[in-house]
């Protein structure tokens, strides 16, 4: 293990979805490969895609992925503040892995109470920095939202607390890369501007040699070196943080494949539950709320949701609920995960108004059970047996489900009845035993997926991502920057 102490590095963006998370993941793996002991950190994350730590607490999925790349257990100190939107106006606030209530955007971003949150995220960073070297930090959204400067917890104020060197990440694919780089730097205070030590141009398409002049122009304009230009990649699979691309994953039905429709919910969470299934050569998986597509599919999956009752109401309003029921009557398999599992029962009720203003709705009636929303949140990593094989996953849910059979859902874990499978377990479909079971009798097993485990697959992807970044980023220049105080 190297003894050299590296200063923290923070990746900030010219905007949202510029690729900060993926580059942070790559750097975590590179530092491990080079003998360091890194850890990721993002003070505040807004995402419905979350994960349960070994201690049974909740963090953003992106930081869990980065921890995997860093070969360390994920911990709430890596993402002390998680915002999980309930609607366009309110969000659940998760602090140090536990929900502390719902807030409107106005309530959350006002100055009152911000310093208490700032103390919490700063303390989390300090604990992490005492154990790991280096800390790979990630900002949020655009670094130049100057209207939020006084209340910002995650970008330059966090960099100042950590005394981090800052690298600006820009997405050239969306256009305007010169203006976005220059504007992002020039809108900083003189103190913060000095912290920005490099620029990474991300998501390049075409021949990079054609951008040599552009690279020089950015350096001249901004007075900051461009550490590299990273091309788009398609052959490396890294879990996505946001669900913005899901609607584009609508493929035509394919003959000879098992066509699987994932119901597209407005408040869908943990969409990474279907990544392994999507990669299976026997499967054609797509996301939809088209009723005809749903009834035509071989298997229908109702995914997790941050707002079970609101999404159930919408499925009844737009006809999807009736299509799922008809498809089941016609012999199709229906699978429910977490909130989707709750919807498959006889009723879902919320007498205390935990999710909102809907007190109760009838479920799809596919499983003999009832669910009542509760304030308590279950967050656990678990192991379970399926088809005599040991499997693993994790739970993140609110609500207590009662099975009419009298069995305890905490003991049963997976409910199976009449072409229906329901469970609270995220990562349920990451297990080979589960996938082989649901595809049996309808798939061409000559196309059966590789027997490589999910952990082996992920580690290969992290190594490929690290190689990709090493090819296109001046890593030695980055090390030089990180060996100097900001």
CATH of domain 9-237+459-482: 3.40.50.300
Q: Compute the mean pLDDT over every residue in the chain, rounded to the nearest whole number.
A: 92
User: Is residue 238's pLDDT more than 70?
Assistant: yes
pLDDT surpassing 80 at residue 326: yes
Q: Are the C-beta atoms of residues 154 and 44 closer than 8 Å to each other?
A: yes
Cβ contact 50:61 at 8 Å: yes
Segment 300-305 mean pLDDT: 97
Domain-wise residue ranges, the chain = 9-237+459-482, 257-443
Give the pLDDT of residue 60.
94
Owner of token pair 């154990």 = 131
User: Both ends of the chain: CA-CA distance in Å?
Assistant: 24
Tokens of 148: 């939020």
CATH topology agreement for domains 9-237+459-482 and 257-443: yes
Q: Say yes or no to pLDDT of 482 above 70.
A: yes
Say if CB 276 and CB 430 are below 8 A apart: yes
Place of tokens 């998680």: 82
- Answer for the pair 82, 94: CB distance below 8 angstroms, yes or no: yes
- Using a 10 angstrom Cβ sphere, with 0-12 exposed, 13-18 middle and 19 or more buried, the burial of residue 314 is middle
Write out pLDDT tens, residues 434-462: 999 999 888 766 656 555 788 899 999 99
| 1: CB partners within 8 A, 6+ apart | 35, 36, 37
Q: Which of 365, 304, 254 is nearest to 50 (CA)?
A: 304
**Banded pLDDT at 86 (limits 50, 70, 90):** confident
Could you say which of 74, 338, 391, 397 is catalytic?
338
pLDDT average, residue stretch 213-223: 95
Between 271 and 131, residue with greater pLDDT: 131
Taking the C-alpha atoms of residue 324 and residue 316, their distance in angstroms, rounded to an integer, is: 10
In the predicted model, is pLDDT for residue 244 greater than 80?
no
Lowest mean pLDDT among 95-109, 145-159, 192-206: 95-109
| Distance, C-alpha 2 to centroid of its chain | 31
Instruction: For 71-87, give one letter per residue: b (16+ CB within 10 A) or e.
Output: ebebbbbbbbbbbbbbe
Q: What is the pLDDT of residue 336?
A: 98
User: Maximum distance among all alpha carbons in the chain?
Assistant: 71
Q: pLDDT-derived band of residue 239, with 50, 70 and 90 as boundaries? A: confident
Name the residue with tokens 């100190």. Answer: 77
pLDDT for residue 103:
82
Contacts of 127 (CB under 8 A, 6+ apart): 77
Nearby residues of 454 by Cβ (< 8 Å), 6 or more positions away: 276, 430
Mode of pairing for the β-strands spanning 414-417 and 420-423:
antiparallel
Known catalytic residue: 426?
A: yes
Is residue 397 part of the annotated active site? The answer reads no
157-171, 257-271, 459-473: range with lowest mean pLDDT = 257-271
Rounded Cα distance between 337 and 429, Å, is 9
3-state secondary structure the chain: CCCCCCCCEEEEECCCCCCHHHHHHHHHHHHHHCCCECEEECCEEECCCEEECCCCCEEEHHHHHHHHHHCCCCCHHHCCEEEEECCCCEEEEEECCEEEEEEEHHHHHCCCCHHHHHHHHHHHHHHHHCCCECEEEEEEEECCCHHHHHHCCCCHHHHHHHCCEEEEEEEHHHCCHHHHHHHHHHCCCHHHHCCEEEEEEEEECCCHHHHHHHHHHHHHHHCCCEEEEEECCCCCCCCCCCCCCHHHCCCCCCCCCEEEEEECCCCEECHHHHHHHHHCCCEEEEEECCHHHHHHCCEEEECEECCHHHHHHHHHHCCHHHHHHHHHHCCCEEEEECHHHHHCCCEEECCCCCCCCCCEEECCCCCCEEEEEEEEEEEEEEEEEECCEEEEEEEEEEEEEEECCCCCHHHHCEEEECCEEEECEECHHHCHHHHHHHHCCCCCHHHCCCCCCHHHHHHHHHHHHHHHHHHHECHHHHHHHHCCCC
CATH class of 257-443: alpha beta
What distance in Å separates the CA atoms of residue 25 and residue 41, rounded to the nearest whole number? 11
């Amino acid at each position: 293990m190297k003894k050299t102490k590296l200063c923290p590095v923070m990746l900030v963006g010219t905007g949202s979805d510029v690729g900060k998370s993926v580059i942070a993941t790559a750097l975590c793996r590179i530092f491990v490969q080079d003998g360091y002991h890194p850890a990721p950190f993002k003070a505040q994350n807004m995402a419905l895609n979350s994960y349960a730590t070994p201690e049974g607490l909740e963090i953003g999925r992106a930081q869990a992925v980065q921890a995997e790349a860093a070969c360390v257990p994920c911990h709430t100190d890596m993402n002390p503040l998680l915002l999980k939107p309930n609607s366009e106006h309110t969000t659940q606030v998760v602090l140090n892995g536990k929900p502390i209530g719902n807030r409107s955007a106005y309530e959350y971003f006002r100055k009152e109470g911000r310093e208490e949150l700032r103390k919490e995220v700063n303390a989390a960073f300090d604990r992490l920095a005492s154990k790991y070297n280096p800390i790979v930090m990630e900002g949020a959204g655009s670094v130049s939202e100057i209207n939020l400067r006084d209340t910002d917890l995650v970008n330059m104020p966090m960099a100042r607390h950590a005394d981090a060197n800052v690298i600006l990440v820009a997405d050239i694919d969306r256009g305007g890369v010169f203006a976005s780089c220059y504007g992002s730097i020039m809108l900083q205070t003189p103190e913060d501007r000095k912290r920005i030590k490099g620029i990474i141009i991300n998501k390049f398409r075409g021949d990079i040699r054609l951008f040599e002049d552009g690279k020089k122009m950015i350096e001249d304009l901004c007075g900051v070196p461009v550490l590299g230009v990273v091309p788009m990649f398609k052959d490396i699979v890294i879990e996505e943080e946001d669900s913005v691309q899901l609607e584009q994953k609508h493929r035509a039905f394919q003959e000879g494949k098992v066509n699987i429709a994932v119901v597209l919910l407005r408040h869908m969470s943990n969409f990474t539950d279907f990544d392994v299934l999507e990669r299976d050569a026997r499967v054609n998986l797509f996301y939809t709320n088209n009723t005809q597509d749903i009834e035509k599919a071989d298997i229908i999956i109702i995914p997790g949701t941050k707002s079970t009752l609101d999404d159930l109401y919408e499925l009844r309003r737009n006809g999807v609920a009736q299509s799922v029921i008809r498809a089941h009557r016609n012999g199709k398999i229906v699978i429910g995960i977490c909130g989707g599992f709750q919807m498959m029962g006889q009723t879902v009720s919320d007498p205390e108004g935990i999710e909102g203003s809907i007190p109760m709705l009838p479920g799809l009636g596919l499983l003999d059970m009832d669910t009542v929303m509760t304030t308590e949140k279950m967050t656990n990593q678990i192991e379970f047996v399926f088809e005599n094989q040991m499997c693993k996953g994790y739970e993140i849910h609110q609500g207590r489900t009662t099975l009419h059979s009298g069995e305890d859902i905490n003991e049963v874990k997976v409910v199976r009845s009449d072409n229906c499978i329901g469970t609270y377990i995220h990562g349920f479909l990451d297990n080979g035993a589960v996938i082989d079971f649901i595809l049996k009798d309808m798939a061409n097993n000559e196309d059966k997926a590789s027997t490589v485990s999910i952990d082996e697959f992920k580690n290969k992807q992290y190594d490929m991502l690290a190689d990709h970044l090493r090819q296109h980023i001046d890593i030695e220049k980055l090390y030089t920057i990180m060996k100097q105080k900001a």
